[in-house]
C-alpha cells in the first residue's frame, strides 16, 4: 500500500503547489510585464498561489484529468498489472481526499455520466534502461487541453514550418487556455506518438534552441496573461523529438495553463 500512498501524496501536492521552476517563471513575469492588464492578471495569479499554499485548496477549480507516463526499467521485474493497480488506487485516493473536482465522464459522446472518482486515468507505458519505475503525472485541465493540437506537416517544412505550426495553434487558442501558458511540443513518430512526446516533453526537453525560438515567437503574439494583452503569452516551451517517416513531419502541441500541475514519483527496485 506504500506505493499508492506515495502516489496519492504527490497528486494532492500537485494541485496545491506549483513546481519551483514554474513559480520562479511566474514571479519573474510579474516583475517584467509592462502591460497594465497583463500585470494585473499576473498579480492575481501570485495571490492565487499564496492562498492555495496557505489553505491547502487547489490552485484551480478544474483539478484536471490524470495523465500518467509510466517509465518502467527493464530490470525492475514489476508486472504491468501491479503498476496499473498502484496508479489507479493512488489516483482515486488523491481525488477523494484532496478536494479534486469530479471531472471525468464514462462515455464521451452520449450519456456522459460522471464516474464520480476521476477515474480512469490516461496511462502510457514505456520501457527504459535500469531498475527503477518512474511515474510522470500531468493534471490536465481541459481549458488548456482543448487548445492543444496536431499538425501533419510536409517533410520539407523544416524548422520554420514547426515554429509556424506551434505559433498558429497558440494564436488560435488566444486567451482560452488561461495564459501565460506552458507549452509542450512533440515532433516525429506518428500522429499519436507526437502527441505523447508533447506531454513527455514537460519532463525532459531535447531541443532547447528550438524551444527558445518558439517561445520568442509565441510571446510576439501579444495575447498576454489572461488574454488581455502583454508580453507573457507563454512562460516556457519544451520540445521532444524522435525519428519519423521520410514522408512526414508530425508536430503536436500540448498546452498547459499557468497552473502547471505535474508530479513525478520514483520507485526503486522492490518498492512497488
Q: Could you report the per-residue pLDDT of 105-158, keeping only the tens digit for each?
A: 999 999 999 999 999 999 999 999 999 999 999 999 999 999 999 999 999 999
Query: What Å distances lie between residue 98 and 102, 169, 217, CA to CA?
Result: 11, 33, 38
Identify each DSSP E strand in 78-222 by its residue range: 122-128, 133-140, 149-153, 181-189
Q: E strand or H helix at 65, and its extent?
A: strand 65-73
Q: Which helix (H) or strand (E) holds 40?
A: helix 36-55
pLDDT reported for residue 57:
95
Model pTM? 0.96
pLDDT at 176: 98
| pLDDT value of position 23 | 97
In 3D space, the residue among 179, 180, 242 whose CA is nearest the CA of residue 207 turns out to be: 242
The grid coordinates listed for 4 are: 499508492
C-alpha 183/C-alpha 263 separation (Å) is: 17
Work out the percent of the chain whose per-residue pLDDT is above 70.
Answer: 100
Position 217 scores a pLDDT of 98
Amino acid at each position: 500500500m506504500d506505493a499508492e500512498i506515495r502516489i496519492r501524496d504527490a497528486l494532492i501536492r500537485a494541485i496545491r503547489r506549483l513546481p519551483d521552476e514554474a513559480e520562479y517563471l511566474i514571479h519573474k513575469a510579474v516583475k517584467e510585464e509592462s502591460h497594465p492588464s497583463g500585470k494585473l492578471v499576473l498579480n492575481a495569479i501570485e495571490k492565487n498561489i499564496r492562498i492555495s499554499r496557505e489553505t491547502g485548496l487547489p490552485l484551480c477549480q478544474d483539478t484536471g484529468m490524470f495523465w500518467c507516463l509510466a517509465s518502467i526499467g527493464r530490470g525492475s521485474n514489476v508486472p504491468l498489472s501491479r503498476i496499473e493497480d498502484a496508479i489507479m488506487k493512488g489516483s482515486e485516493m488523491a481525488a477523494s481526499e484532496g478536494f479534486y473536482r469530479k471531472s471525468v465522464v464514462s462515455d464521451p459522446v452520449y450519456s456522459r455520466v460522471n464516474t464520480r472518482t476521476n477515474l480512469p486515468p490516461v496511462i502510457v507505458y514505456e520501457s527504459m534502461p535500469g531498475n527503477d519505475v518512474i511515474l510522470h503525472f500531468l493534471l490536465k485541465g481541459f481549458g488548456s487541453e482543448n487548445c492543444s493540437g496536431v499538425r501533419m506537416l510536409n517533410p520539407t517544412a523544416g524548422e520554420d514550418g514547426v515554429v509556424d505550426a506551434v505559433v498558429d495553434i497558440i494564436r488560435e487558442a488566444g486567451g482560452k487556455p488561461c495564459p501565460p501558458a506552458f507549452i509542450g511540443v512533440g515532433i516525429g513518430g506518428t500522429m499519436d506518438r507526437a502527441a505523447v512526446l508533447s506531454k513527455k516533453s514537460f519532463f525532459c526537453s531535447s531541443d532547447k534552441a528550438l524551444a527558445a525560438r518558439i517561445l520568442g515567437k509565441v510571446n510576439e503574439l501579444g495575447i498576454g496573461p489572461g488574454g488581455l494583452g502583454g508580453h507573457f503569452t507563454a512562460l516556457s516551451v519544451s520540445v521532444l523529438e524522435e525519428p519519423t517517416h521520410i514522408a512526414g513531419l508530425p508536430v503536436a502541441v500540448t498546452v498547459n495553463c499557468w497552473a502547471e500541475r505535474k508530479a513525478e514519483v520514483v520507485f526503486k527496485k522492490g518498492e512497488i
